[in-house]
Amino acid sequence: MTDQFLTSKPYKGTRDFYPDEMRMRAWVFSTMRRVAEDFGYEEMSGPIVERFDLYAAKSGEELVNEQIYHFEDKSGRRLAIRPEMTPTVARMVAARLEQLTLPLRWYSIANFMRYERPQKGRLREHWQLNVDVLGESTVRADAEIIGVVAALMRSFGADGSMFRIKISDRRLFNDVLRNLLDVGDNEIQTISKAVDKRAKISREDYEAWLAESGIAKEKIALLDDVFESSLSDIAGRLSSASQGAESLETLFSLLDQAGVSDVCQFDFAIVRGFDYYTGMVFEVEDASPDNRRSLFGGGRYDNLVGLFRKSEVSGVGFGFGDVTFQDFLTAHGLIPSDLGGRPTALIVTFDGVAYAEYLKLAEELRSGGIANAVYFDQGAKLKKQMQFAERKGFALAVLLGEDELASGKIVVKQMASRRQLTLDRADCVEQITKMLEDT
């Protein structure tokens, strides 16, 4: 034995979900689930650990070198706690390509770990909804994914004044850099990183970053000009047709037809951090002036399944994290006061009645579909038991004293209204069910 106590805090950057926090999480997840299934997406999932190689290949330097929790198992295999879902999705598609009927519409809700400095909107463990279309390379899938994003935001009560979906295309970005800025392929990656971080770093740092990559001052100014330009202006300035620009034109027309173009806009500055994106990329931004930050994003990745086998299966999708999003919901007042999921009925116990009678009543109610808990301590005063019911948020208290037992009755008290009814034991299940439906 030791005299020293262990700390009761969770590991830095991770969260404990007590029943209250869990009700919030359950409400968020069930809303996400409903929207994904409304669009015909099927739920899947993968392991919490993967081989480290899975991320080393394509996820991007910052994630791999700085953010992944990795370690060796007893056989010397280098493993990682998953930092994101997309590589797992690509691996699973590659593993069963012959048996799967493409295209796939898949979603998952899973937890991830990244070594981050914990701060507002950023933790070390977070949960994420991932939604992907695999095996459909046309822009129709891109449009559907953006449609799912818009439906998700709306299903949480967010309207067009609260968020914007900003969309661009990696191919257009590359074309502009090659064609207008005349930079080589090696520099494109560096510039895209600088552009991705532009909103988060100072203007000086941004310019220094580009200068280090050999980008001249006048090219930085040219790039500034592109950020302010419309899609057709940019396309017009290129010396040859850009597949990215054409694809974006089609995408915006489909988004218009799908009735979601009011919350969407083109933004050349959207590039996304992951190296694996090859086509359309997007970010959802909080539109409120005092919290203009990216909530989540996604895009098209063409080469991921090719890491595992000789085949081309294009994917498009996004990961929607819970931490930033809960801040968004709070800031916009979108969390309902009643999240549901509170316990139903507390059976109050009295000293003069055999405890077995309460076990019997509990079983009767459960068989009738009425969830309930029995108060263990028969010696406790009625007042204490009612306080317990109140604190735990039970909808009802069910009272069975000596008199009720003798006369075949029970007393049911509605906690919110304090209304109290004496019911015949014989048909109490129907009566209580009705009471619960009315509240």
Give the count of alpha carbons within 13 A of 185, CB side only.
1
Among 92, 165, 194, 281, binds its own copies (CB under 8 A): 92
- Binders of its own copies among 245-264, rule CB under 8 A? 254, 257-259
Q: Identify the DSSP state of 273.
A: S
Residue 71 in the binding site for its own copies (CB under 8 A): yes
Instruction: Spell out a b/e string for 269-292, using b for 16 or more CB atoms within 10 Å of the CB, else e.
Output: bbbbbbbbbbbbbbbbbbbeeebe
Contact assessment for residue 13 and residue 116, using Cβ atoms and an 8 Å cutoff: yes
- Binders of its own copies among 331-350, rule CB under 8 A? 341, 343-346
- Binders of its own copies among 158-197, rule CB under 8 A? none
Distance CA 159, CA 154 (A): 6
Among 96, 203, 383, 418, binds its own copies (CB under 8 A): 96
| Residue 227 or 355 with smaller CB distance to its own copies | 355
- Binders of its own copies among 383-402, rule CB under 8 A? 388, 391-392
Residue 7 in the binding site for its own copies (CB under 8 A): yes
Stretch that binds its own copies, among 72-80, 183-191, 241-249, 330-338 (CB under 8 A): 72-80
- Binders of its own copies among 281-310, rule CB under 8 A? 307-310
Mapping DSSP to helix (H, G, I), strand (E, B) and coil, where does residue 296 land? strand
- State the nearest-atom distance from the C-beta of 428 to its own copies, in Å: 17
| Residue 15 or 219 with smaller CB distance to its own copies | 15
CA 233 from centroid of its chain's CA atoms: 35
Among 144, 169, 175, 285, binds its own copies (CB under 8 A): 144
Mapping DSSP to helix (H, G, I), strand (E, B) and coil, where does residue 161 land? coil
Residue 78 in the binding site for its own copies (CB under 8 A): no
Among 37, 262, 402, 403, binds its own copies (CB under 8 A): 37
Residue 48 in the binding site for its own copies (CB under 8 A): yes
Cβ–Cβ contacts within 10 Å for residue 308, how many? 18
**Which residues have CB under 8 Å from 432's CB, separation 6+?**
345, 365, 368, 370, 396, 398, 412, 423
**Which residues have CB under 8 Å from 372's CB, separation 6+?**
343, 344, 345, 346, 347, 362, 365, 366, 398
Residue 412 in the binding site for its own copies (CB under 8 A): no
| Residue 311 or 407 with smaller CB distance to its own copies | 311
Stretch that binds its own copies, among 71-79, 199-207, 226-234, 314-322 (CB under 8 A): 71-79
Residue 380 in the binding site for its own copies (CB under 8 A): no
Per-residue CA distances from 6 to 2, 3, 15, 245, 260 (Å): 10, 10, 17, 58, 52
